[in-house]
Structure 1
Amino acid sequence: MFFPIDYKKSMEELVDLNKKMIKGTDIMLSLEKKDVDVAPTPKELIYQEDKMKLYHYKPIKKDVNTIPTVIVYALVNRQYMMDLQEKNSVIKRWLELGLDVYIVDWGYPDKSDKYITMEDYIYGYMDNAINKVMEINNVDEINLLGVCQGGTFSAIYSALFPEKIKNLVTMVAPFDFDTKDGLLFHWSDYMDVDNLVDAHGVIPADFMNFGFLMLRPFSLTMDKYVGFLDNADNPEVVKDFLRMERWIFDSPDQAGEAFRKFIKELYQENKLIKNELQLGGRTVDLKNIDMPLLNVYAEKDHLVPPAASKPLNDVVSSKDKELVSIKGGHIGIYVGSKSQKEVAPKVADWLNERSTKKTTKKSSSSASSSGSSSKAKSTSSKSTSSKSSSSSSKSTSTNSSTSKTSSGSKSSSSKKGSEEEK
């Protein structure tokens, strides 16, 4: 069968494409680093422990929610995806809607962090950061918002310390790992994570990135670049494209021991949803989650399919719980137009309706003086091995002279391997 070719139209399209490529090249050559900067929303460092940093975003409104909101992002990517650019920053939108926002930056693990465990992340860094926010704001409870793996960590933390959480928000986070809807869940079943961690100690970011790209090889390695050419002559499109590329490949390594436990006991053995996960000698019982819960999932999520997120609402004790479906993908719900029109307003309105300030019974001075002792109690699982591996790192705070809390008990498995924070 003969298909006639319109040679004139084909040549016009070819010439047009060449013009766009030339214009796009000129645009990229003219750009400076500041032109594609990320994380534009102003913030200040208020606490640091080893490589973990806690930031506070400067409020935009005079009247802000009196219950602070702490965001915990995944280890496998950088948290500034939520503040990639000013016009589509979900962080900035939350500030405009009156939330008082803090965010945890896990940093970039190196070889000295190979013995860092999930206990260190949750009982140690995460708990210390939350304690600091409560101390600064003189409150007993905070709003906890977890994204992706950070949502899994947030659910675990809320089950262990329900008295500290006023409201829990989880976004595109996995809880039931016994699903075959996502290719990532298939692969993890056959991963020899012990050999991987024992060989590398710290899992290279390039290994993780390659795996994520292979989940959708055509669209993530070819199609997006072909699509980019159609708009290569638009300076704003070029800048947005480069910002996203920067985020995709700005991935931290993974601390081996935490990676080992997360893959084996969650992905492969699905212990979390069964209430069988042991952390620092304690059982993580999701029924302990009794605070209001907002669980947000993305309908087209290829990394965390809805089947992995939705079951959380069935196992918690919360009477006030809501499951929200967003039409979009794992990242698209944060950087697309829906982030401004649907996602950010939904989360902010939900939190604002449920957040009434509950001040501590202690005065500010007494809270400050007793801060170290309270932290020591809640971070008792920080291991000696992780301290020795990163002994050169110090805990610092810009707003307080509180010293780094000591820790005593940690599972012996932390001596076997390492996980990179990515």
Structure 2
Amino acid sequence: MAVLDGMLAAAGNAAHRVLGGGFADLTPWPRELVDSGRARRLYHCDSAETGAPVLLVPPLGVPDSPYDLRRGCSLVEHLAPQRPTYLLDYGPMGFAERGLGLEHWVDEVLPAAVDAVRERTGQAPHLVGWCFGGILSVLAAARLDVDAIASLTVVASPFDFTKVPLLMPLRPVVAATGGHVFTPVYRALGTIPAPLVRAVFQISALDRQLTKPFAVAAHLHDRDYLAQIEAVERFTATMTAYPGRTIAQIYHRFYRENALAQGSIEIGGTRVDLAAAKQRTLLIAGRSDTIAPRRSVAALLDVLPDAEVEFTTAKGGHLGVLTGRAARTEVWPLIDRHISG
């Protein structure tokens, strides 16, 4: 009987998919814009008024949707009933933003967002950063007073770029050209365009892209699975550009010099020592993440000697570890416990 029910569900879902019907509820969680500036939009999500506030920090190159992927699989939806929840967004990036470097986010955007949350709630926020958002959170924490941020949660953020196999094939080309093979590209374009950002994300999970039709066919009976696929496709389609100056810094400082793993990096003419970030830190790596593999993420342990750091791994790839279906039971409870601790 269960087999028959599954076959009937698969047939119904297949018909629904062919007719163009959607499975995911992509309605954003209600929010209000409470602060803004250049490449900075801070939203207060419709959330509880009591409890420790949380500030969600996305990476560049994507909208804020990783934190609010879809109803039923939204970290915002999970956090909002428990505590004041704030979401940072950077808006679209174009040629006019080509001169913005890391220092803009580390010294202006994040401090302004932290100050706004503290002013509204009377408390230092707990920062949750995914991917590059985690790196920005650590760098900002190293620049701010230790009591400005209550704690850090860093998810799928690579801190040792020599431990990212995806980047290894590029090293001989970089070495042969003295490191300047990509320089003409970002200088000419002013940005790394959204289609290229999208392509890199898709290439990082090429095996899943190639097998996705088979996986969908095998899960046609599972509406929640199909909804997740649909939500990830929407997220990928809405990726944005990277400013040229920031890309140059990432390329030369993160990739060529591997400065993050060494614990010190020059940003905008100022030296930032990561060890100055002394907040309690929860560090999470996805077990099948190719963009930020376990060893690359774990490198942060070596450069935060004075912080209480808990490191763990969880099921999922680069996006899935934050907002996949398993994250609801594996990762989100860890974040709850860390913030409440």
TMscore range, shorter length: 0.7 to 0.9
Give the match for residue 196 of structure 1. 185
**Residue identity matched to 2:19:** L
Q: Percent identity?
A: 22
**Residue identity matched to 2:327:** S
Equivalent-residue separation in structure 1 for 2:33 and 2:69 (angstroms): 18
Contact 1:293/1:318 (CA < 8 Å) preserved in 2? no
TM superposition shift of 1:23 = 6.1
Q: 1:233 to 1:112 in 2, by over 3 A?
A: same
Structure ranking higher on relative contact order (CA contacts 8 Å, 6+ apart): 1
Look at both structures and tell me which one has the larger radius of gyration over its CA atoms: 1
Describe the SS at the equivalent of 1:273: helix
Correspondence for 1:127 among 85, 104, 111: 111
Correspondence for 2:294 among 302, 306, 331: 306
1:5-51 alpha-carbon deviations (Å, 9 max, x no partner):
xxxxxxxxxxx9xx96896354453537xx75525322211112134
Correspondence for 1:146 among 116, 129, 137: 129
Does 2:68 align with 1:83?
yes
Correspondence for 1:344 among 327, 332, 335: 332
Does 2:83 align with 1:99?
yes
TM superposition shift of 1:115 = 1.1
User: Which consecutive unaligned segments of at least 5 residues does structure 1 have?
Assistant: 1-15, 354-422
Give the match for residue 98 of structure 2. 114
Does 2:149 align with 1:159?
no
Equivalent-residue separation in structure 1 for 2:307 and 2:13 (angstroms): 57
TM superposition shift of 1:288 = 0.8
Give the match for residue 389 of structure 1. none
1:382-401 alpha-carbon deviations (Å, 9 max, x no partner):
xxxxxxxxxxxxxxxxxxxx
Equivalent-residue separation in structure 2 for 1:142 and 1:189 (angstroms): 43
TM superposition shift of 1:103 = 1.2
Contact 1:275/1:283 (CA < 8 Å) preserved in 2? no
Equivalent-residue separation in structure 2 for 1:26 and 1:315 (angstroms): 51
1:212-258 alpha-carbon deviations (Å, 9 max, x no partner):
323343421x2102322344476655443322211112110111101
Deviates more, 1:234-243 or 1:325-334: 234-243
Q: 1:294 to 1:234 in 2, by over 3 A?
A: closer
Does 2:152 align with 1:168?
yes
Q: 1:23 to 1:276 in 2, by over 3 A?
A: closer
TM superposition shift of 1:138 = 2.7
**Residue identity matched to 1:74:** P
Equivalent-residue separation in structure 1 for 2:126 and 2:166 (angstroms): 32
Q: 1:235 to 1:28 in 2, by over 3 A?
A: farther
Deviates more, 1:335-344 or 1:235-244: 235-244
Contact 2:107/2:143 (CA < 8 Å) preserved in 1? no
User: Which consecutive unaligned segments of at least 5 residues does structure 2 have?
Assistant: 1-6, 175-180
TM superposition shift of 1:193 = 2.7
Q: 1:244 to 1:283 in 2, by over 3 A?
A: same
Give the match for residue 265 of structure 2. 277
**Number of paired residues?**
328
TM superposition shift of 1:259 = 0.9
Q: State the TM-score, normalizing by the size of structure 2.
A: 0.87
Alignment of 1:245-284 (within 5 A): 245-284=233-272
Deviates more, 1:161-170 or 1:228-237: 228-237
Describe the SS at the equivalent of 1:325: strand
Describe the SS at the equivalent of 1:328: coil
Alignment of 1:222-233 (within 5 A): 222-232=210-220
TM superposition shift of 1:184 = 3.1
Equivalent-residue separation in structure 1 for 2:54 and 2:267 (angstroms): 25
Correspondence for 1:24 among 6, 10, 14: 14
Q: State the TM-score, normalizing by the size of structure 1.
A: 0.71
RMSD: 2.6
Contact 1:149/1:173 (CA < 8 Å) preserved in 2? yes
Q: 1:123 to 1:352 in 2, by over 3 A?
A: same
